[in-house]
Every structure is written in structure tokens, then in C-alpha cells.
Amino acid sequence: MSTPPTQRDLSTTATDSGKSGRYNQSNLGFFGKAFFKPFPARGFQYKGQGIKRTWKEKQSTYTQKTGKRFSATNDYKEVQQDIFDSRGRLARILFNRLIKNQQLGEKIPIIRLYPDTVNVLYFSFVALLIYGVLLYLKDEFGVDYDFRQDHKKDANWREYISFVQSETRESLTSNLYTRLPLRYVSRAWGKFNSMETPDLIRVPMMKAFVWFFGVNMQEAYVSNVEKYKTINSLFRRRLAPGAREISETNFVAPCDGKVLSFGRLDDENSYIEQVKGIDYSLKALLGPNKRSDKIGLEKMVSLKKMDETDYRESWMQDPVKNDLYYAVIYLAPKDYHRFHSPVDWQATERRHFPGDLFSVNPSIASWLKNLFVLNERVVLNGLWKHGFMSYTAVGATLVGSIKIYFDEEVLTSKQYPTSQAHKHKGDYFDRTYPEPVQLEKGEQIGEFNMGSTVITVFEAPKDGFVWNFEGEGDKVVLGTGLNKLEIDKLVKVENVEIPVENVEKDQVKNDDE
């Protein structure tokens, strides 16, 4: 029976360790530990310095921890590696991460006193991430916001919008970009912005947002950033009284922003310009026309094969004397995020297209085809004194929520796990108002949560309508006159003359009041 090897306890101490130890060189005691990197003791100032062990005890036939025998190919280091490996790959990754976190904590002032603080923050972040994933799964696979009892897809619209989508995905870059989960990101961002976070987090974020984008808070109804309870309330802030003047011209800017494109739709120009070299169809923007269906036009020809001229004239009141005009205005993050009525008109119907939430930034619009007709949008159709009027609010990345003040049934940026209504399968949500909604020039219609795009398409005389724009890229503010057409004193809708001064309007109840 062999006797166990003799255990020798060796100890080494630094010279004069009481005065020249690891931390005392700073001469600050406790604070020196917090703000200064530890110094080695004088006895061990250089690598390799110390007592060199030159003796070697006789090895035991078994290791102390595993009981495995030594062999010519299995020394103690390999056995310890086996112990480490036996914990599993996941455990090894976790342990290595914790060790690195602790090493990082030892290099940071203040935290150096409690290096495990980094690990606490690490686990807190992981827990928050898991919690967010669980909320996302509950939200995505919980309620389907397609509340239609009789769910019928429009086969005509599905055929056409599928063709538009395939046209957009022709290039590799566009194909990859259109498959990103931007709807999920936007919905998560919206929920975060609606949370009442602590002032320690919320106020710095708001001030950073105002500084980075150059937001003019002096024109806001509440100019003090700290007064806003959520980040979302800052995005959809109200304007101070008198901050905008409504022009006396016939047609005014419905919002603050930059003019992306404008023009006339006629026999020579049948498409709306997105940017130079890229355009899209009016059919893709507004969808099937109910009036054309009543006269049998869509029954004879599918929407995909329908001529652009026939489709355009199906909306118009007087195709002989009038043309359709359009203006596309982009709202940047710094802009005022509410949108208003550009004219006195009546909204008779609403159509909500669930869809994608691609970025509408001009840098993306310059290469992604059919951007505005694939994104989620709310279209208001009606009549004004010269005929047809269409007002479209387009959603975007991080701006999926579109609110229409007089229509609470509009629910945007929602999930459709069952119907898949947002995947361009022929779905849209229509509503015809029992009574036309009277909207006066400058009246609030709705709001975005961060900023997006407003597209107006309207009927006006062929002669006499002149844009006030100098060119694309012009900056406009709410109430700026967009044309030089003379003002009529009567609003003619469906052959009924309504004095402008007697047009009734419903008072909009704002969340901030």
C-alpha cells in the first residue's frame, strides 16, 4: 500500500506589502481602489519574478479530482480539460462570458470595486430580451386583427398587387430588403415609445432626439421636453396657436415636409413619379374602383390589364375638362407629425391596405420600386369643388401606426397570424361613411407616430392650375399655398352648392387636450 505524497504549502509575500501593496500607490485608500488600476506589489513587479519551484514530488497513480489513471498520453492538464469539456458546450460559453464580463468590470472605474456588477447587468439584459421575445410571440400569434365576419379576398386585386410585388423583387438587393421583418421591428418600437419609462431614461432620449434631428420645440404647444410622458407623445406633439398660417390659395400643404414629386396625370403621363426614373401606377395606390365595378368596367377587364386612362377617368367627375394632379410630401423625423386637410372637401369612403413597412426615406425611395403602393396605408376618397379628391397617409419603418381622428375603426400596424392580410393576398378594409365627413381646409385629419408620407391625388381644371413649387425637394410647411388657381366661393359636391362659410365640421378631440 503506497503512501500519499507529502503536501508542501508554499507561500510568497511581497516585500513591505503593508505600504506598497496593490492599491496603496495611489495614496487614496478606498477611492484609489475605485478610480485607479491596481498595481502589482513591489516583490512581483516583473513577469516570472518570484520563487521558482525546482523540486517534483512523485506522482500519484490517480488524480485528486477525477480518479482517472495517468498514462503517457493523458496528463493532469488534459484531465482538467476533460472536466471542463464534460460540462457541455453551452456551459462553457456561459462561463467564458462571465469570466470576460468580470475582467471587463475590473477595468472600469467604480465598478472595479464590484466587478460582478457587469454580470448582473448582463443577466438583466438577457432576461429583458427573453421577456420581449415572449411578448412578441404572444402578440404575433394571439389576436388576428382581421375582424371581418365574412372574409373574402379580392381576387382581382390579389392578381394585380402580386404582380407589383414580383416587379419590386426583381433585383437581389430589393428581394433581400423586402424580406426583412420590418413590421415586427416597427411594432416593437411603437410599444416602447408608448411606455411611460422613468425620467432617467426617457428625458435623455428625448433631448438626444431633439438635438440630433434639430426639432424646433419653440413652435410646439408644450415646448418643455420633460413634460411629455412618453416618447410617442413627443413625436405627435401639437403646434402652438398661430404657429402655422393657412394660405388663402385654393390648395395648401397638408403637412410639414419635403416635396418628393408632383405633377399631372394625363394621356402623356399616366404614372405617379416616385423619384426620377421610378414611378408607380394609380391603380396600385388606390386599388379597385367601386364605381367602375358598378358600370361593369372591371368585370370586362381585370385590374392588371385595365388601361391607365380608363382607370383614371373612372374616378373623375369631368374627364373632358379636368385632369388629375398629385403631390407627394415626405415627413422627416424632425417635422410636425400631424396631417391636415388641404382643401374644403367631403370624405365619403375609407380604404385601409395592410402591407409592408419599408422606409420611405428618399435614400430608399431612390432604388426600391413601388415603395408607396406596397407599404401599409390609409386612403380617404371623396369630393371637392372640382371633382374627385383622394388623400393617402402612408406608413413606414417605425411609423406603422396611422391614426384617423374621425374613424376609430382604422387599426394599423397590427398582426394577422390567421388571415395573413398584410402579405398582399388581396386584402383591404373598406368603409363607406353613412354621412360624408365634412373637412375644412387646415382641419386636422390624423397623425403619424414619427413621420412618413402624405399623397394627395385630386381633380382640377386642365387650364389655370399652376404649381407653386420651384422643383422637387422643396421644403413646405402646413398651410403653404401649393397652386395659383383662383378661389371659388362655393363648394360644389354632387351638384349641390354649399357655402364655404357654412360648412359644418366636427370638433376633433386630441389626446393631448
Is residue 377 pLDDT above 70, yes or no? yes
Dihedral sign computed on CA atoms, order 353, 356, 361, 364:
negative
| Cross-strand bridge partners of residue 215 | none
Of the segments 158-162, 191-195, 300-304, 412-416, which one has the largest average pLDDT value? 158-162
pLDDT band at 152; cut points 50, 70, 90: low
In b/e form, how buried is each residue of 444-477, taking b as 16+ CB within 10 angstroms?
Answer: bbbbbbbbbbbbbbbbbeeeebebbbeebebebb
Rounded percentage of the chain residues whose pLDDT exceeds 70 = 73
- Dump pLDDT digits (tens) for 277-286: 889 999 999 9
What is the end-to-end Cα distance of the chain in Å, rounded? 92
Q: Which three cell numbers stand for residue 392?
A: 393617402
Q: Which residue has the cell 472595479?
A: 112
pTM of this prediction? 0.71
Active-site entry in 337, 340, 422, 424: 340
For this structure, is 293 an active site residue?
no
Neighbouring C-beta atoms of residue 234, cutoff 10 Å: 23
Domain ranges of the chain: 246-502
Asked if pLDDT for residue 75 goes beyond 70, the answer is no
Stretch 458-466: mean pLDDT = 86
Instruction: Specify whether the CB–CB gap between 87 and 93 falls below 8 A.
Output: no
* CA distances (Å), origin 202, targets 132, 211, 222, 228, 425: 19, 14, 16, 9, 39
Residue 289, C-beta contacts closer than 8 angstroms, at least 6 positions apart: 297, 298, 311, 314, 315
What pLDDT does 60 receive? 47
Strand partners, 493: 496
pLDDT for residue 45: 47
Q: In what order do the strands lie in the sheet with 345-353?
A: 429-439, 345-353, 377-384, 387-394, 453-461, 322-330, 257-265, 475-476
pLDDT confidence bin for 154, thresholds 50/70/90: confident
Distance CA 340, CA 444 (A): 4
pLDDT at residue 497 greater than cutoff 70: no
Residue found by looking up cell 468590470 in the block = 105
Mean pLDDT of 5-25: 45
Q: Tens of pLDDT along 185-210?
A: 888 888 888 888 888 888 888 999 89
Cα gap 224→239, rounded to integer Å: 13
452 is catalytic: yes
Element (H, E) at 373: helix 371-374
What phi and psi values does residue 361 have, to the nearest 5 degrees?
Answer: -60, 140
Distance CA 343, CA 29 (A): 74
**Higher per-residue pLDDT: 360 or 91:** 360
Q: Name beta bridge partners: 455.
A: 328, 392
| Identified catalytic residue from 146, 247, 256, 314 | 256
Helix 117-140 and helix 89-105, axial crossing angle in degrees, nearest 10: 130
Which of the residue ranges 51-65, 101-115, 192-206 would you say has the lowest mean pLDDT?
51-65
Active site residue 314: no
* Matching residue, cell 420651384: 470
For the segment 278-319, what is each residue's pLDDT rounded down to a tens digit?
Answer: 899 999 999 988 776 545 555 557 888 888 888 999 999 999
Report pLDDT for 343.
93
